Amino acid sequence: MTKEHTISLAFIMAIMCLVAIVPAVAQQSVSGQRDGSAQPGANWTDEQLRQAVALARVGRKLTPKSWPNRARVAVCLSFDDDTEAPLLRDGTTSPTALSASDFGAESGTARILAMLDRYQIPATFFVTGVDALLHPEMLAAILKSGRHEIGVHGWIHEFPPRLSGEAEEERLLDKAIDYLTRATGKRPVGYRAPSWAFSPYTLDLIRKKGFLYDSSLQAMDEPYEIVSRGENTGIVELAIDWTLTETPYLGQNGRMPSPEILFRLYKDEFDGAYEEGTLFVLTLHPYMSGHRAPMRHLNELVAYMKSKPGVWFATGAQITAYLKETQPAK
C-alpha cells in the first residue's frame, strides 16, 4: 500500500465517522435545550456527584518496576469467545444469524489457537456458560495445550445493568462459575462483564465470589487496584479499552474499510506500552477476528511483538499472580 493510498483510506474513514457522529451530536444538543430532564446530573449536589462515581475507582497503580525475567512489557492477548449466547439471550433463533456467531466456535477459535500454538504463547479466553455448554469441543480445544486460561464472561451474555436486580445477577453469575468450574476442572479467577457493563451490584458480587482480577473497566492503560466507596477491594484491574477491540470497527455496523488500518493502531498501542514499560491488553472476538483477513494481520502483529526483546506474554491470571506477589495488599 502506498503512502497516498493510506492517507486516502484514513481520510475516508474520518469522513464516515463524522457523518455518523454529527447528526447524533446535533440531536442531543436540540433535545437538551428542549428538555432539561435529559441532563439530571446538572442538578445533583456535590455529594451526589461524588457518590455517583464512587463504586469503582482507581486505587494503587500496579505496574511493577520490572516484569518476570526483566521483561519490559507484559502482553495479555484476550478473546471474548462469544458464539450464540448473546443472540439466544434476546430470543433470536434465526439459523442465519446464529450461524454467523457459530463461526467463532467452528472456525475462528481454531485459527486463533493454531496461531498461538505456532508462537507458543498463552492467552485468556473469556467464555459464557451457555457458549461452553453449546461447544464443549471448543472449550476442550482451548484447554488442550495447557497454556491458556478460561475466564468468566457471564452465563448467557446477559447485560447486567438491565437485569431485575442483585439476586438475578448473582443467580446467573453462579450458574456461569459452576458450569465453567465443572467443565474445566478449575474455578476461574478472572471476570470480564458481558458487554463490559457493570451494574450497581457487579463489583460487590465478583468480590463476594472470590475473583482475583477483573478485566472490564477502562480508567487506565496500566494495571491498578480497584477502590470501591473509598475501600481497597484487593481486586486487580487489567483494564481494557474500546480502542483495543475490533467490534466497533469490523462489526455489522462498523466503518473500518480495512483491518490493516485497525491492526496498525494496535501496533502503535503496543509500542506505547513497550516504551512505558507497562501492560498491553488486546481483546478480540473469534467470530470476527477469526476470519481470514483479520487473522493475517493478527499474525503479523504477534510476530512483531515476538521480535521485540523483553516481551512477556501471559494470561490474565499469571499477570495478576505476579502483581499480587510483588505488590501485596497494604
Summarised one tens digit per residue, pLDDT across range 120-136 is 999 999 999 999 999 99
Joined grid coordinates for residue 103: 463461526
Q: For the chain, give the mean pLDDT.
A: 90
The residue among 137, 125, 130, 182 whose CA lies nearest residue 154 is 130
Number of folded domains that form the chain: 1
pLDDT of residue 330: 73
pLDDT in tens, 280-316: 999 999 999 999 999 999 999 999 999 999 999 999 9
Name the residue with higher pLDDT: 285 or 254. 285
| Average confidence (pLDDT) over 110-126 | 98
Q: Is 156 helix (H, G, I), strand (E, B) or coil?
A: coil
pTM of the model: 0.88
What CATH number does the domain containing 142 carry? 3.20.20.370
Task: Confirm whether 8 is domain-assigned.
Answer: no
Strands 124-127 and 73-80: parallel
Mind listing the pLDDT tens digit for each residue in 132-181?
A: 999 999 999 999 999 999 999 999 999 999 999 999 999 999 999 999 99
Q: Fill in the DSSP letter of residue 108.
A: I
Q: Which domain holds residue 144?
A: 59-326
265 by DSSP, 3-state: which? helix
